[in-house]
Amino acid sequence: MFLSASECSDSPGRLDRSTMVPSEEAKFYFALQAVEEAKHYDALRRMIPKITGRPMDAPGAWVRLLYSFGVVDRSDVAFMMGSINIIGEHLANQIFHKINRVATDPQVRALLALIGRDESRHIAAGQRFFPEVYPQFKKNRHRIMAKNLATTIILAIAAHDLVNPMRTLQIDLAEVLGS
């Protein structure tokens, strides 16, 4: 799961949960994850034009709203960790897996395999470090659930921007979500 470098630089530290988690181990891990996500974005930004013949499109307004509302909340690390490491990384990993199965270019396959390994570690980090933020989740669970419901509505509106590229690649989202 990733943002462009410009989106990250618009608000430094926006995704960096390393300042929001209690343990030194978690701080180190999430700083590393932020660097890995920047590498993923840069690699895909270079690879997509080679595959499609045109530059990677900037995220549309609905996708940016989905991300800024449904993922980023500097006041709630439990919400962010759940949205990013538990939900988003899993979906991204499944989508990259599906693309890798149909990719024929060895460079694309190698890149997706590397990103997939990182995404798997990011999922595991969510599971590993979520207990550190569980008290905050428990305290804010009703607000988090309401925000997740609102995010689902935004996702339904943003689906056109998200689903059409997957249809082009013949990726069945129902199959991905069922994985």
Structural domain spans, the chain: 5-178
- The predicted-structure confidence for 38-65, as pLDDT tens digits, reads as follows 999 999 888 888 777 888 888 888 888 9
Among the residue ranges 2-6, 65-69, 110-114, the one predicted with the least confidence is 2-6
- The predicted-structure confidence for 112-151, as pLDDT tens digits, reads as follows 999 999 999 999 999 999 999 999 999 999 999 999 899 8
Quick check: 107 and 47 in contact, CB under 8 A?
yes
Quick check: 77 and 66 in contact, CB under 8 A?
no
The answer for 101, left when phi > 0, alpha when psi is -120 to 50, beta otherwise, is alpha
Neighbours of 160 (CB within 10 A): 11
* H-only helix segments in 23-172: 24-52, 61-70, 77-81, 89-102, 106-168
What pLDDT is attached to residue 100?
A: 86
Q: What share of the chain in percent tops pLDDT 70?
A: 81
Closest C-alpha to 126, from 93, 101, 153, 166: 93
pLDDT of 15 strictly over 80: no
Its CATH architecture, for the domain 5-178, is: Up-down Bundle (1.20)
pTM of the model: 0.76
Half-sphere exposure at residue 119, Cβ-oriented, CA atoms within 13 angstroms: 21
